[in-house]
Chain A
Amino acid sequence: MSSFLEVRGLSARYGQLPVLHGVDLSVEHGEIVVLLGANGAGKTTTLRALCSLVSTSGSAIFDGTELIGKSTRSIVRRGVAMVPQGRGTFKDLTVLDNLYAGAYLRKGRAEISADIAMWFERFPRLAERREQKSGTLSGGEQQMLAVARAMMSRPRLLLLDEPSLGLAPLVVQELFNLLSTINKDLNTSMLVVEQSAELALAIADRGYVLEAGHTVLSGSATELQSHDGVRQAYLGL
């Protein structure tokens, strides 16, 4: 039986510059998978390739359908959402409008409103600031909003690109706890690119290490935590 997301030989290029040379990975239903690697290894590009934001070849079967070659819009419609690096909130829009924009492809006002109420319950600080422009939020609040906005499309697979970037350690801890809760409550599978390898591996089921556009290592979170190379390169031990 094939995986929920099965990526085989994924290659991507920016213009003439190839960045990925055949990435293989898989995400099972309900799993959190972390993607580790040095700067420039192709982690971000892997996520962008899955959303058709770069020119891509290879194969990425999600829930039985090939994503490569589809438009971003139809990929989102199939249940994939991404929280890009640097939050990617709509800074000139209110918190509320950010969430409505996240639900752009959905129909049914009542359900959308119910979802917004649910996310406001999970993130009370966003509820307090619902009429504020999101650019006025703190970094942590913006990251929560970015997650809530991505979740508004009711994705079954959430891609997160360095969610901890630029956040205080306590906020990072809170964020990872929230991701773990969302994963358990809503059964949302996640593929997380992270520099904070330690915290990410703590909530992840499995992980991959990318090097120069290839998958070079894979294993369960516990295996990776005890792997010498990973410990030296990413855990600073």
Chain B
Amino acid sequence: MSAKPIWGYDMTTSTSILAAGSDPASILTTVSTGLSNGALYALLAIALVTVFRTTGHLNFAQGEFAMLSALLSFSLIAAGLPIWVAIIASMVISAVASAAIQYFIMRPLEKRGHAAALIAVLGLFLFANAFGGVVWGIDNKTPLAPFPDSVDDRITVLDGTPPFTLSYITIGIWLTLAALLVFLWLLLSKTKLGLAYRAVISNRSSAALAGIPVAATFALGWALAAVPGTLAGVMTSQAASALSFTMMANVLIYGFTAACVGGFDSFGGAVVGGLLVGLVESVVPSIFPAIGAQSGLALALVMLLVVLTVRPQGLFGRKEVARV
């Protein structure tokens, strides 16, 4: 192809991974990096979808909740708890706090209409962000390390020069996502709690008529979102080597894009959407070096724009159907 400059960039200065002579390892590394970041976006997207399916709110504060969970884990570890105990404890505390926020703040406000709920969510975003900064300080803390992270903590998948390796961090994130999906599936399809949750989502007045406690189930939905949310916060901290009150700002945009791409209807959609956003962010700049590796956020916003224009309900979403 001709190498004429686009937007002032000279395509010849860096090479595409598809150019002749590229090694398979770098292609695979690009893909696995994308899927690793994508799994983090998927975790946050699952949290957003959980809340949206339950009460119909887009909880823009979800990323900040995840950040607070990560910082709380940090403090619990500093207090002497083993890391996974600290993570589970933050998850529980975050779940209780989320349920309380839904019950005491969102529930009374949503009776005043969509605008009130939306403003409340934005307020929560600002509050959670400031709360993180005030309580834990604005400096970057030592990132969390739930998975072994020394240079040698990786498995070699493909020998060669360079070899294709997967870090324990990447594998850990994938396994966590898989475990979360199994957990959610078991909870929602095999337990009475899950039946109540699905019934309330499907038809809240009929759920009330069956004696299902609707208000408590709404709070449960918010609480449930704290599980993927906390995992997203903790693992983003390790993957991005960051732990501060600003760490989740961009991840929220990726996670939101992921949920829009997959559709707000299903966890499966959130996962596919997350992985897709991660892949695009990693692969597209590698194929077209002119785009630049730092353009991830712009690419995500382009995806968001395309999906909202072409298929507003997302890849796996159903069109909104009026209920009788």
Q: Is B195 within 8 A of A73, CB to CB?
A: no
Query: Is B324 interfacial (CB 8 A cutoff)?
Result: yes
B4 within 8 A of A: no
Chain A residue contacts of B201, Cβ below 8 A: 92
Q: Which residue on B lies nearest to A83, using beta carbons?
A: B209
Kindly state whether residue A97 has any CB partner on chain B within 8 Å: yes
Annotate A70-107 by CB proximity to B: 1 below 8 A, 0 otherwise. Answer: 00110011000110101111111100010011101100
- Stretch in B128-136, B174-182, B210-218, B223-231 touching the partner: B210-218
Does A51 belong to the interface (CB within 8 Å)? yes
Inside 8 A of A53's CB, which chain B residues have their CB?
205, 208-209
Least Cβ–Cβ distance between A135 and chain B, in angstroms: 9
Q: In the bound complex, how far is the Cα of B213 from the Cα of A105, in angstroms?
A: 10
Q: Does B207 contact A (CB under 8 A)?
A: yes
Please tell me which one of the listed residues A82, A87, A104, A149 contacts residue B212 in the complex, with CB atoms under 8 A apart. Answer: A104
Q: Which residue of B lies closest to A98 (CB)?
A: B199
Q: Nearest residue in A to B213 (C-beta to C-beta)?
A: A73
B contact patch SS: helix
A44 on the interface (CB 8 Å rule)? no
Q: Taking the complex as formed, is B144 at the interface, i.e. its CB lies under 8 A from any CB of chain A?
A: no
Q: How far is the CA of A46 from the CA of B324 in the complex (A)?
A: 20
A89 touches B195 (CB 8 A): no
Q: Does A153 count as interface, using CB distance less than 8 angstroms?
A: yes
CA distance A82 to B209 in the complex (A): 7
Most buried by B among A91, A92, A101, A102: A101
Cβ contact within 8 Å between A72 and B208: yes
Min Cβ gap B27→A in Å is: 41
Contacts of A73 on B, CB cut-off 8 Å? 208, 211-213
B192 is an interface residue with CB less than 8 A from chain A:
yes
| Complex CA–CA separation, A140 to B211 (angstroms) | 24
* A81 nearest in chain B by CB position: B209
When distances are taken between beta carbons in the complex, the residues of chain B under 8 Å from A97 are: 195, 198-199
Q: Which B residue sits closest to A134, measured CB to CB?
A: B202
Decide if B150 is an interface residue (CB 8 Å cutoff): no
Whether the Cβ atoms of B211 and A89 lie closer than 8 Å is no
B12 CB–A CB distance under 8 Å: no
State which size class the interface on A falls in: 20 to 34
Q: Which residues of A contact B68 (CB under 8 A)?
A: none
Taking the complex as formed, is B294 at the interface, i.e. its CB lies under 8 A from any CB of chain A? no
Query: Is B196 engaged at the interface, CB distance under 8 Å to the other chain?
Result: yes
Evaluate contact between A77 and B211: CB separation under 8 angstroms.
yes
Task: Establish whether residues B324 and A86, one from each chain, have CB atoms under 8 Å apart when the complex forms.
Answer: yes
Min CB–CB distance A49 → chain B (angstroms): 13
Complex interface residues of chain B between 187 and 208 (CB less than 8 A to chain A): 192, 195-196, 198-199, 201-203, 205-208
Residues of A within 8 A of B195 (CB): 97, 100-101, 104
Cα A153 to Cα B208 in complex, Å, equals 13
Query: B192 to chain A: which residues have CB within 8 Å?
Result: 104
Contacts of A102 in B (CB 8 A): 210
Judge whether A105 and B211 touch: CB under 8 Å. yes
B7 to chain A, nearest CB (A): 47
Bound-state Cα–Cα, A105 to B210, Å:
8
Chain A residue numbers with a CB within 8 Å of B196 are 101, 104
B202 contacts A84, C-beta separation under 8 Å: no
Contact present for A88 and B203 (CB under 8 Å)? yes
Q: A68 CA to B201 CA in the complex, in Å?
A: 27
Partner of B206, one of A90, A100, A153: A90
**How far, in whole Å, are A107 and B105 apart by their CA atoms in the complex?**
33
Q: Could you tell me if A90 and B198 are in contact, using CB atoms closer than 8 angstroms? A: yes
Q: Are B212 and A101 in contact (CB under 8 A)?
A: yes
Tell me whether A51 and B209 are in contact (CB under 8 A). Answer: yes
Whole-angstrom CA separation of A73 from B208 in the bound complex: 7
Residue positions of B touching A, CB distance < 8 A: 192, 195-196, 198-199, 201-203, 205-213, 323-324
9 contacts between A and B (CB under 8 A): A87-B324, A88-B209, A90-B207, A97-B195, A97-B198, A97-B199, A104-B211, A104-B212, A149-B210
